[in-house]
């Protein structure tokens, strides 16, 4: 095997250096392409993340009843106020007692907003009726129950009113926007003059 001369060694060294430099250049170019592709793909992914909703919750279904023009169940935006619920139901009817409501309160999904009729009970009675009030012996309410805000359970607890009649009262109230007087109870099937007379001391409007 012949011995490699110095000129040949120099040629080989230059060739090897050229290969190394070309390889380094190639690697830098590939790295730059990878960074560029990552930057271009980044904005394409971000809109998908923006569309994901946070923890604010979805729309709320609210039952608006009582002294409003169009009682019914309405879909409201998350965080909507009681005032918006009343407005969606056509607004309050003449004689409605809006002072009994906190119009600035937020509504929750599945809640019921009852707009009472202004009457002898006033706002305090309406608030007591909505809250459930105190109960006397046997679960009966300790005081008169507001006819326009009482729940089925509260009405059922009264002597002379069973669960069927209590549901009929609430249904009539929802359909007609509340009771203007206790005398309107005679429009409920099953409530005659004697039962109405017995309920006069237990109900207010």
The predicted-structure confidence for 19-69, as pLDDT tens digits, reads as follows 777 777 777 776 656 544 444 444 444 444 333 333 346 788 888 888 888
- Cα separation, 8 vs 3, in Å, equals 10
H helices within the chain, ranges in order?
6-51, 82-88, 122-131, 152-156, 163-176, 193-199
DSSP H or E segment with residue 114: strand 112-115
State the chain's mean pLDDT as an integer.
73
Q: Model's pTM, two decimal places?
A: 0.37
Answer with the residue of higher pLDDT: 36 or 91: 91
Per-residue pLDDT, averaged over 75-97, amounts to 90
Residue of higher predicted confidence among 136 and 85: 85
d(CA 161, CA 150): 13
CA angle, 31 as apex, 25 and 35 as ends, to 5°? Answer: 145
Partnered with residue 114 across adjacent β-strands are 65
Q: What is the pLDDT of residues 97-132, one digit of tens each?
A: 888 888 988 888 888 888 888 763 444 344 434 433
């Amino acid at each position: 095997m012949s011995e490699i001369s110095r000129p040949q060694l120099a040629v080989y060294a230059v060739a090897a250096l050229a290969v190394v430099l070309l390889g380094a250049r190639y690697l830098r170019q590939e790295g730059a392409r990878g960074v560029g592709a990552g930057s271009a793909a980044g904005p394409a992914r971000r809109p998908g993340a923006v569309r994901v909703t946070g923890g604010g919750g979805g729309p709320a279904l609210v039952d608006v009843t009582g002294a409003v023009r169009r009682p019914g169940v309405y879909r409201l935006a998350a965080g909507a106020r009681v005032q918006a619920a009343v407005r969606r139901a056509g607004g309050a009817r003449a004689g409605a007692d809006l002072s009994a409501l906190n119009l600035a309160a937020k509504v929750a999904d599945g809640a019921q907003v009852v707009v009472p009729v202004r009457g002898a009970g006033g706002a305090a009675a309406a608030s007591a009726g909505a809250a459930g009030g105190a109960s006397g012996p046997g679960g009966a309410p300790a005081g008169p129950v507001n006819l326009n805000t009482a729940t089925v359970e509260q009405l059922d607890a009264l002597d002379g009113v069973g669960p069927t009649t209590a549901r009929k009262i609430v249904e009539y109230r929802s359909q007609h926007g509340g009771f203007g007087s206790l005398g309107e109870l005679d429009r409920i099937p099953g409530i005659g003059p004697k039962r109405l007379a017995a309920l006069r001391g237990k109900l207010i409007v």
